[in-house]
Structure 1
Amino acid sequence: MTDPVKPIYLPAIENPEQEREWLKQGLKHWLDAEFIPEKVNHDIARQAAQIFVRQRLEGENDLGALVVAIITEMQAFDFSESFYGEFAIANAVSDLILDSLGYDRCCGQ
């Protein structure tokens, strides 16, 4: 039997504005590089970063729960001018966070 995936807990938020800006810039860069730069990418990145930091300020530090919150709340975002959707955005946020923490994302490691 395989072991369940262990949750990843982020350290408590210390500088919300810095974390918001870092995530917004990183996500926008990822969005622009992944396909094509679009004006809406800025709005997507801003909204996802706001959700992420608000959740963190409310005490949520479990990365999995943060991803679910981004998926849930980004469903209200109008993605009609984008090639992306809420799942791609939440996964990209997770990847950026895991990279910043030094996790190897390859092959479920």
Structure 2
Amino acid sequence: MTQPIPAVTLPPSPDLEAEVTWLQTALGVWLDQEYLPELVNQAIAARAAQVYFRQRIEGEHDLGSIVIAIVTEMQMFDFSRSFYSEFAIANAVSDLLMQRLGIDTCCGQT
């Protein structure tokens, strides 16, 4: 019988603004490296970081809930000049945050 993947709860951030800056920078780098560096990538990273910030400031610590919020809110972003979609962005944010916590994003192990 398979085991469900446990939820990932993010620890409280001692410096949320620094964490958001890190996320925006890391996501921008990831976007530029994954396909092609494009100006729109920085706008995507800024918007995703803004959603993340608001979720955390409102007290959300469940990574799954944050991912859903990013998917939902990024649906309003114009991806017509990008190779990405709201799902790719939310998944990338999740991977970056889990890697920062030391969680293997491939297999869910520390």
Moved more, 38-47 or 11-20: 11-20
Aligned-pair RMSD on alpha carbons? 1.0
* 2:77 corresponding residue in structure 1: 77
Q: 2:96 maps to which residue?
A: 96
Which runs of structure 1 show a deviation greater than 3 angstroms over 4 or more consecutive aligned residues?
none
Task: Please state whether the residue corresponding to 1:106 is helix, strand or coil.
Answer: coil
Structure 1 stretches lacking a partner, 5+ long: none
Q: What pairs with 1:1-109 in structure 2 (closer than 5 Å)?
A: 1-109=1-109
Q: 1:35 to 1:62 in 2, by over 3 A?
A: same
SS at match of 2:29: helix
Cα distance in structure 1, aligned partners of 2:13 and 2:49: 13
Q: CA offsets, 1:12-44, max 9 Å, x none?
A: 122121011100000000000000000000000
The alignment's TM-score, normalised by the length of structure 2, stands at 0.94
Instruction: Write the letter of the residue equivalent to 2:76.
Output: A
Amino acid at match of 2:94: S
Unaligned runs of 5+ in 2: none
CA distance in 2, matches of 1:94, 1:22: 14
Q: Partners of 1:11 and 1:90 in 2: how far apart?
A: 19
SS in 2 for 1:76: coil
Q: TM-score, normalization: structure 1?
A: 0.95
CA contact (8 A) 1:23 1:93 kept: yes
